[in-house]
Chains A and B, each alone.
Chain A
Amino acid sequence: MKPADETELSEAVASTLQPLAITGGGTRPIGPSVAGKTLEVSSLAGIRRYEPEALTLVAGAGTALSDIDRVLAAERQRLAFEPMDHRTLLGRQGEPTIGGTVAANVSGSRRIQAGACRDHLLGVRFVDGMGTVIKNGGRVMKNVTGYDLVRLLAGSFGTLGILTEIAIKVLPDTECKAGLLIHDLKTEEAIQALSAALQSPYEVTGAAHTPSGIDGHPVTMIRLEGFEEQVDYRTKQLKAVLSKFGEIQIEMNQEKVNAGWKWVRDVETFKDRPGEVWKLSVKSSDGPKIVRRIQAEVDADILFDWGGALIWVLVAAGTGDIRRYCEPMAGHATLVRASESAREQIPTFHPQGSLHQRLSDGIRRQFDPRQILNPGLMN
């Protein structure tokens, strides 16, 4: 099914007798496969409004991210949360859409400074499991009128409603970027260095660490952005702050900085390597300990982003649920890449406490009483 607009979509949902598997660009398959009729929202596309002076953009949920990026770039603006492109890691084709990005609350490295996808949303329109069209929020920067369903819909993976339109806050792009690199740090030291950078007033917009960089050695990466003079000044200052951790290499070549951070954002380090990929969201200072626990049990490759608060883990196919090695852990683990059979067996999303589960189930029943929207995807 490929409804042409919101009205058709709403009628299709209201009249369906089968569960629906909702797809945007189809570039981020996650969880067990949904048994149901495929419903594509890619026709609900197009930028409906863009006001650079108001920092707002409204687009159909099926709009390709690449279209949005292009239009923003022409005004020297951008999506500040820097959504990850999953195609590299998951080996998929297709075009990521804004709807899919919101439904999965996808952010990138700048999340640590600028906030997540959900933090940049101003409003949504969606169709619930009865086919009712619902709007929430709007297209203004500040809005506390009624309950905030916008935040709830972000990251709900289509299980509460099918997004049809998104209003989002955009921000000015920056003139200049700099990369600061420290080589050969031990994981603990690296996370401390990232923390020191993030505690400085220089508005670090990227803080990552790989224990095995392109040449196999550990690299700790920090990104600064701003006007050229600003970046020059901040680079000098931050270099002084971090000098106790080792020698600091400064990268000012814009293409190299961009390529380096795309490598982090899209987890390119795991791209052509077989195995299961997990995403752990943790308290950053716990990261090294959690990684040690995992590595005590199985071979695992690691990439830290968000100052260590995000850990990407690559383990061999068939490893099973690695959560059993992580506990106790303040945070959550998501299975991002695995064979279909592994995704059937291992819970994709982190198991919730019983009260949380009860409330989540209750909300799903309210928005989708027939359990037809991506049923089973999130639990």
Chain B
Amino acid sequence: MLEMPAPSEEILDRKSDIVRRLKEVAPEATVIHDPDETKAYECDAFTVYTCSPLAVVLPSSTEEVAAVLKICHEESVPVIPRGSGTSLAGGALPTADSVIVGVSRMNEVLETDYDNRFIRVQTGRTNLSVTAEVEGRGFFYAPDPSSQLACAIAGNIAMNSGGAHCLKYGVTTNNLMGIRLVTIEGEIMDLGGPYLDAGGLDLMGIVCGSEGQLGIVTEAILRIVPKPEGARPVLFGFSSNEVAGACVADIIRAGILPVAIEFMDRPCIRACEDFVGAGYPDVEALLIVEVEGAPSEIDMQLGLIKQVAANHNPETVQESLSDEQSARIWAGRKSAFGAMGRIADYICLDGTIPVSELPRVLKGISKLSETYGLGVANVFHAGDGNLHPLILFDANSEEEVKRCEEMGAEILKLCVESGGCLTGEHGVGVEKRDLMPCQYSEADLEAQMRIKDVFDPNWLLNPTKIFPLHISGERRAA
């Protein structure tokens, strides 16, 4: 069970004073403090735990964010930065004595520059609407989390989010050129800019992925990339997970870099087939491999990939020959989470493993599934080893919730043991906080916390995340 520190009674008592001060710097309507209304902010997409904040502020400018943070700093009130609230790790989960500062009203495009291939936006803007802005000119913003319709650039930067296209285009940190950061003391600074590389220490590099613990990011300069001429997938069905895993390894060894290699196991294939009827074969494992380029380039690459796959005797090969067929092949994969949700409640894990360990880890996961008596379906980005095992359970049974959490922890430990990590793209938040010592030694964690000491000496920004409470305790209390 998740432990959270008890709220400070002393702060709760000062609520009306704090709210009054916030209203002096932000328009009345953007300061939310009525418990009926703050309830909407009691969690993000990690819904197992909930707690309403003291208040919520939705500033409309960097200067307003700065003024709000200055007050929170003076009043020693914890601050929870928030984008769209789609974190799966509880990154934006508040405590009762905290003020949520959300950037959702700050969603302007400030500059688009095709000659230098960047776009400058306020960070409340959603991921997909960044691409929408530049699509007409043949560009896109590459990191594409499945939540891209809803999630904000703010959360993407804080979590260093990834997506299906990462194998080729990298994750958020690889596509970020500059940020405007407001410190907890209310100072505003620009890190990076419309040019390459840092001139001194790469502070932007450390802010990206720091889960809102170092400051609030209000603007971002994002690299935009010319859209490829086209893309087309091929689907393979295999008789076992092992064979599918071996095929992934061989494709990469052959010198081809597909834009996506997606993997689904039998439970997941079944569920998707029942849900959308994508025409998936009845096999143990399937791979969807997509390549990009002009039609002739695609033909050539898919030809090579089919040659490699042939050595593994696939039970089915479906090469898409049209946009319509591509859409059908992707339909099942894209609805995987929804399809699983129809069968049972599930939690979605996010460990990454070295690709070479795929068969062993998948076997380990099915063993754990037997031991704990809970079903698991696997659907993930195979090219980069980022697993998303979905553990199926009944959320109404307290006992099953507990069993599910325990089993999730065991799977993540297995990922770490096999040379991988706890989270490939969703972040630590509160969800994986207490598992951090499996991956990192005390010295490793201490080194990370020293960075926070510099940016936020009083530990007011999102203080109960990432680091196990007993490890961050002294700092938070100080």
Contact = CB atoms under 8 A, between A and B. Distances in A.
Interface string A130-147: 001111101111111111
Given A175-B255, A359-B455, A363-B451, A140 B352 contact: yes
A227 B300 contact: yes
Interface stretch (B63-71, B291-299, B338-346): B291-299
A359 to B, nearest CB: 6
A317 interface: no
Contacts of A67: none
A171 B189 CA distance: 35
Interface residues of B, number: 92
B216 to A, nearest CB: 15
A281 B201 contact: no
Interface residues of A, number: 84
B424 A366 contact: no
Interface stretch (A26-34, A37-45, A110-118, A212-220): A110-118
Contacts of B159: 144
B428 A145 contact: yes
A142 B295 CA distance: 30
B266 interface: no
B355 A53 contact: yes
Interface stretch (A11-19, A197-205, A244-252, A261-269): A197-205
Instruction: Provide the main secondary structure of the chain B interface.
Output: loop
Given A140-B419, A148-B206, A148-B208, A119 B296 contact: no
Nearest to A358: B454
A183 interface: no
Interface stretch (A86-94, A149-157, A295-303): A149-157
Contacts of A283: 116, 193-195
Contacts of B193: 283, 330-331
Interface stretch (A1-9, A270-278, A337-345, A346-354): A346-354
Given A284-B116, A356-B191, A128 B447 contact: yes
Interface stretch (B40-48, B160-168, B234-242): B160-168
A39 to B, nearest CB: 20
Given A144-B426, A151-B205, A230-B293, A172 B255 contact: yes
Contacts of B166: 141-142
B432 interface: yes
Nearest to B418: A140
A235 to B, nearest CB: 12
A282 B250 CA distance: 41
Nearest to A147: B448
Interface of A: 51-56, 75-77, 105, 107, 111-112, 115-116, 118-119, 128, 132-136, 138-149, 151-152, 154-156, 160, 171-173, 175, 192, 195, 198-201, 226-227, 229-230, 233, 237, 281-285, 306, 309-310, 330-334, 349-350, 352-353, 355-356, 359-360, 362-363, 366-367, 378-379
Interface of B: 113-117, 138, 159-162, 166-167, 170-171, 173-174, 183, 187, 189-191, 193-203, 205-206, 208-210, 226-229, 248-250, 252-253, 255-257, 293-294, 296-297, 300-301, 352-356, 381, 383-386, 419-428, 432, 436, 439-441, 443-445, 447-448, 450-455, 466
23 contacts: A54-B252, A54-B385, A55-B252, A115-B170, A118-B197, A132-B443, A134-B447, A136-B444, A141-B352, A141-B384, A142-B381, A148-B205, A149-B448, A154-B205, A155-B197, A155-B201, A199-B115, A199-B226, A281-B195, A284-B115, A331-B193, A355-B189, A362-B454
Given A154-B205, A356-B200, 5 more contacts: A55-B355, A200-B226, A281-B195, A281-B196, A283-B193
